[in-house]
Chain A
Amino acid sequence: MSDISLIGTPAAESPGREAPAATRVRGYWGNVWQRLRYDYVTLFFLLLILLIVLSAIFAPLLAPFDPNKASMAHRLKPLFFRTNYLGTDEQGRDVLSRILYGGRTSLLMGIVPVVVATIVGGLFGVVAGYAGGRVNTVIMRCMDVFFAFPSVLLAVAISGSLGGGMVNQLITLTVVLTPPLCRVAETSTSQIRSMDFVDAARASGASTISILLNHVLVNAISPVLVYASTLVSASILLASGLSFLGLGVSPPTPDWGLMLSTLRQAIYVQPIVCAMPGVAILVTSIAFNLVSDGLRQAMDVKA
């Protein structure tokens, strides 16, 4: 065999000791999880998000009343009015039940557009960043067209032309969220693209697809994922805004933004009850923001 003295041999490091145990191979995601495990703030808010999601999924089991059952006798009652723990709205419907059911719409609006936009925007961004040149110019200038409008205005414009309804609202949000995600993916890909290990992979004769999957994507993806997680709360807020303006789901479907909109007129009568859907939006978006912050720190492993 070779006569090169091996770095890491027991003889070279400390004579007479047992060979060091073979290092356990822990993947990148394993390392991320190791960091998250000790980040209690992030874990707490992760748990909170889980609870919110579960409460929305199991709304029929948890809700004390039918969210659409009105009662003319008990309109705009305060908190803890009998078993209406969060009071009743302007039609006498139970606010707690409506918030639980409304979470279904709002979380859907928060998560689905972000997931779709991450896939679509990420794909375009990675292609633009890796290919460079003309391809990059074409893709990124198209994205710039959308960037030219403020996001709320763009959402209102698209929603307005597509009309209301849940599917149209999802489409609107996806279109609004795609360009920023594409831009983040493009930036991080073009940084990775200029690294020598990509050239080394090309020099080994690998196909572009293999290089993208094995070398580019794993390195370019973490800023995209972190940014996407911050967009969840933005998407919920945007959806609430659209519903508030009457461009989203139509009444009587419970939705946090829509509830806020209809309860607004009663703000001088029952201010605290009126604020409840807003509190739901606030807590959810704070939770998503803090989790994405923790995720950023955990993924910002030196390697």
Chain B
Amino acid sequence: MSKDSHMVLERPADRGGRAQPMLIAQGMKRYFPIRGGVLNRRVGEVKAVDGISFTVLKGETLGVVGESGCGKSTLARLLMHLLAMDEGEVIFDGDPVGQLHGLSLRDLRRNLQMVFQDSYSSLNPRLPVEDSIAYAPRVHGVGRTEARRAARDLLQRVGLRPEYFGGRYPHELSGGQKQRVNIARALALNPRMLILDEAVSALDKSVEAQVLNLLGQLKREFNLTYMFISHDLHVVQYISDRVMVMYLGQVVELGPVDQIYTAPRHPYTIALLECRLAVDPANRIETPPLVGDPPNPINPPSGCRFRTRCPHAESICEQRMPLLGEWNGDPANHLVACHMAKPGSGHSLAGYGMAVH
């Protein structure tokens, strides 16, 4: 039996070839206006996503980590075009999205799907789960019985017995089962890439492990590309090929998973990694590596956004914003937006890297 024999919709063709990255995001920006005052004027803006560029290669898993409120979910919604971008461009498999001669939104959605964070609110409470899964193929012109059959097949693929679960309503399922349904729903259009927005964060640990294994299996089976958004560093380490660290709407570090976890270069990444709970009692830390909340994204600090919480902040960090630089297309390329990593930047520790740590 061929792998895709049960899918009702044909997989969108690979247009760009093997070397073409699956997704390129360039200079994405989204500011949310804050309105107030007498005439509902724009009094400020939340810089939720502030100039983010990155690339997702075909077949890889890009992990995205960062604290709550750093813009991870906004980024996912921008990529899905559920929110309009203020600035920036998304190129999917070589075609700019939503432009003349580019990829239409409808075609993008056949290629790119998303698994939402809140497994409860992401399923229609009034629809049996198989109808929720069958909805997307129906929208794309598949007949009712055909779509329902495909939905049952997908339930099987995500490890739920279709004749037992297909007719159930979301409130009759556990969190893990609902998230499996959500994954099946995202796969129903036979996409090539999935954005997983905190897909396992609400699950308890044993179920989380099951769903992670399922995701790994589906990735191989359907030849998928993942963008995996999470605040859980362990999970990201387990599933990712490359990791992107976000802070206050910007990318601060980007690199292969091993390098990020063994040789992090941005002070924020180092602090995040130190926040992980150590199993070894000798390695336990008494003081928190990061104190307080991130600064207000309405009024981010000048220069480096992390400087208010950074142990190595100097006057240069206040004056100039460190840049991430251009990614050269090599998966092993490790980028960091910190003055300390750039020789000659004016920081007293510049060039020493993390030898100071």
Could you tell me which A residues sit within 8 Å of B by CB distance? Answer: 1-2, 4-9, 19-20, 22-26, 28, 195-197, 199-207, 210, 214-215, 218-219, 302-303
Contact = CB atoms under 8 A, between A and B. Distances in A.
Contact of B164 (A23, A200, A303): A23
B140 A205 contact: yes
Contacts of B62: none
Contacts of B126: 28, 218-219, 303
Which residue among B113, B114, B126, B217 has the maximum number of chain A CB atoms within 10 Å of its CB? Answer: B126
B347 interface: no
A281 to B, nearest CB: 36
Given A4-B214, A205-B106, A302 B136 contact: no
A7 B179 CA distance: 13
Contacts of B114: 200, 203
B116 A204 contact: no
B109 interface: yes
Contacts of A218: 124, 126-127
Interface of B: 1, 77, 80, 82, 105-106, 109-110, 113-114, 116-118, 121-128, 132, 135-136, 139-140, 156-161, 163-172, 177, 180, 182, 185, 188-189, 214, 217, 221
Contacts of A214: 124, 127, 135
Contacts of B136: 201, 204-206
Which residue among A2, A6, A7, A26 has the maximum number of chain B CB atoms within 10 Å of its CB? Answer: A7
B165 A205 contact: no
Contacts of A199: 77, 82, 116, 122
Which residue among A9, A26, A195, A196 has the maximum number of chain B CB atoms within 10 Å of its CB? Answer: A196
A22 B116 contact: no
Contacts of B118: 196
Given A2-B157, A6-B159, A199-B77, A204 B123 contact: no
Contact of B132 (A197, A205, A302): A197
A196 B116 contact: yes
A205 to B, nearest CB: 4
Nearest to A9: B161
Given A196-B122, A197-B123, A303-B170, A202 B160 contact: no
A75 B128 CA distance: 64
A8 B165 contact: yes
Given A2-B221, A7-B160, A205-B140, 15 more contacts: A2-B159, A6-B159, A7-B159, A7-B165, A22-B167, A23-B167, A197-B132, A199-B116, A201-B124, A201-B135, A203-B109, A205-B139, A215-B127, A303-B169, A303-B170
Nearest to A26: B167
A26 B169 CA distance: 10
12 contacts: A4-B214, A22-B163, A22-B164, A25-B166, A195-B121, A201-B136, A203-B114, A204-B136, A205-B110, A302-B171, A303-B126, A303-B171
